[in-house]
């Protein structure tokens, strides 16, 4: 594959363009806006993450464009002149899709598309597209479709129907594309039907959980692509799909494992979190994520080898707060510690997170130690449960005796 690189600079904006002369995946241009309220490091992290999201969606990012402004433009997010520049770049490079690192309003999408004469995808829509490509279970498919119906309808029906019909590709696949030409009333009915189907699935899940209510439940949570599925596999001897991709697995996986000294424990792996995860997506996946609230212990997994581990930790705890699950007992586990060669970084992490456990899912000794820690949590939980039962019984006896 032959690549030619161009570097252009204009004011505070630098554009790196890689033109690929080959049959490649869908060509996209990635754009981001650095405003005065965003730190440069955090902005860089978001752009790098968007690059990975685009690759996960099957796209080839041929250019990354950033612009500095005090605040976004109300109608077009980025400046008109910059969008004109993007239009010319896309035309010369043969790209038909612009991916913007933000959550756009339907009106902004329409305005930008009129200027660049191409398809526009925002961060939420890109994530939805990845979800649509990766879902496996019926429940997850319904959840993705519900999220699409809730958020994409205004732009799907008015803004870029003609673009999606011409070029297809990312942002146009999954259940949502079937609703391109239906009216608002039918979409609202569809949303209602999807909610009812999710409620039925949730009732069935509640029944299943009641049957295992006496078993200690652990939920693995964390940023996407930090090794949650690998941890579940190593703890339980299972073979859940593991890929080095964002959102490689979306469906909740639950396995039983015997913990010495504690007995049978149920461990569940959940969908990964992400910075700036759209609220409607969290809402649509609430039935799946409810397994987190019902756990007796959360294992919060972070990537020890990531420069952004602190940001990942903040994101995870923010989402847990949204789910009202941030007060549950937690174990912080730094995975991929074997990839940290710098002793200074190892020491820094251990000082900043003194109660954390540093592991590699490929190290049997690490997994044995972690199982031992989980076992102690189970034993402590059972002790507290028995004490609570004794107090409850005593209080009932006192009530009866006073009568």
Average of per-residue pLDDT across 260-278 = 83
What is the C-alpha separation between 317 and 313, in angstroms, rounded? 6
291: pLDDT confidence band, cut at 50, 70 and 90? confident
**What is the distance in angstroms between the CA of the first residue and the CA of the last residue of the chain?**
86
Q: What is the pLDDT of residues 136-180, one digit of tens each?
A: 777 778 878 888 777 655 654 444 344 344 445 666 555 544 445
Mean pLDDT of the chain: 80
46's enclosing H/E stretch is: helix 40-56
Cα of 7 vs its chain's centroid, Å = 32
Q: Does domain 3-133 have CATH number 3.40.1160.10?
A: no
Contacts 24+ apart (CB under 8 A), 316-319: 316/221, 316/222, 316/223, 316/273, 319/273, 319/277, 319/282
- Please report, for the chain, the start and end positions of each structural domain, with discontinuous segments joined by +: 3-133, 213-389
pLDDT more than 70, % of the chain: 75
Return the structure tokens found at 129: 């597209």
What is the C-alpha separation between 273 and 312, in angstroms, rounded? 9
Spatial CA neighbour of 131 closest among 232, 278, 27, 253: 278
268's enclosing H/E stretch is: strand 263-269
271: pLDDT confidence band, cut at 50, 70 and 90? confident
Q: What is the pLDDT of residue 240?
A: 59
Note the pTM of the prediction, 2 decimals: 0.72
> In sequence order, which residues have a C-beta less than 8 Å from that of residue 51 and are 6 or more positions away?
30, 61, 64
Return the structure tokens found at 13: 């904006």
pLDDT more than 90, % of the chain: 40
Topology, domain 213-389? Rossmann fold (3.40.50)
Q: What is the pLDDT of residues 68-114, one digit of tens each?
A: 999 999 999 999 999 999 999 999 999 999 999 998 988 899 999 99
């Amino acid at each position: 594959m032959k690549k030619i690189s161009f570097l252009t600079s204009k004011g505070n904006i630098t554009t790196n363009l890689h033109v690929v002369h080959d049959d490649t995946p869908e060509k996209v241009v990635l754009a981001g806006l650095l405003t005065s309220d965003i730190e440069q490091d955090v902005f860089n992290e978001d752009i790098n993450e968007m690059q990975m999201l685009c690759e996960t969606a099957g796209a080839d990012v041929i250019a990354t464009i950033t612009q500095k402004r005090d605040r976004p433009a109300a109608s077009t997010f980025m400046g008109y002149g910059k969008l004109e520049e993007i239009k010319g770049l896309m035309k010369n490079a043969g790209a038909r899709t612009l991916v913007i690192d933000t959550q756009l309003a339907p009106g902004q999408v329409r305005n930008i598309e009129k200027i660049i004469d191409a398809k526009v995808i925002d961060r939420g829509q890109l994530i939805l597209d990845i979800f649509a490509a990766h879902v496996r279970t019926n429940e997850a498919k319904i959840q993705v479709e519900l999220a699409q119906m809730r958020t994409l309808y205004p732009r799907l029906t008015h803004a870029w129907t003609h673009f999606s019909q011409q070029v297809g590709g990312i942002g146009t696949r999954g259940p949502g594309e079937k609703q391109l030409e239906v009216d608002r009333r039918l979409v609202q009915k569809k949303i209602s039907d999807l909610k009812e189907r999710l409620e039925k699935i949730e009732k069935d899940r509640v029944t299943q959980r009641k049957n295992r209510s006496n078993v200690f439940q652990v939920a693995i949570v964390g940023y996407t692509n930090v090794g949650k599925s690998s941890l579940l596999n190593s703890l339980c001897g299972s073979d859940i799909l593991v890929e080095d991709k964002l959102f490689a697995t979306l469906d909740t996986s639950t396995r039983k494992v015997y913990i010495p000294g504690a007995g049978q424990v149920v461990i569940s792996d959940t969908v990964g979190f992400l910075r700036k995860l759209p609220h409607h997506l969290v809402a649509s996946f609430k039935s799946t994520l409810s397994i987190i609230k019902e756990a007796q212990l959360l294992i919060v997994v972070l990537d020890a080898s990531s420069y952004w581990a602190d940001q990942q930790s903040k994101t995870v705890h923010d989402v847990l707060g949204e789910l009202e699950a941030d007060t549950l007992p937690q174990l912080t586990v730094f995975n991929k510690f074997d990839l940290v060669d710098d002793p200074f970084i190892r020491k820094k992490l251990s000082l900043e997170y003194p109660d954390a456990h540093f592991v590699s899912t490929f190290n049997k000794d690490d997994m044995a130690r972690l199982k031992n820690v989980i076992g102690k949590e189970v034993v402590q939980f059972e002790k507290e449960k028995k004490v609570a039962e004794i107090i409850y019984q005593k209080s009932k006896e006192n009530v009866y005796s006073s009568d």
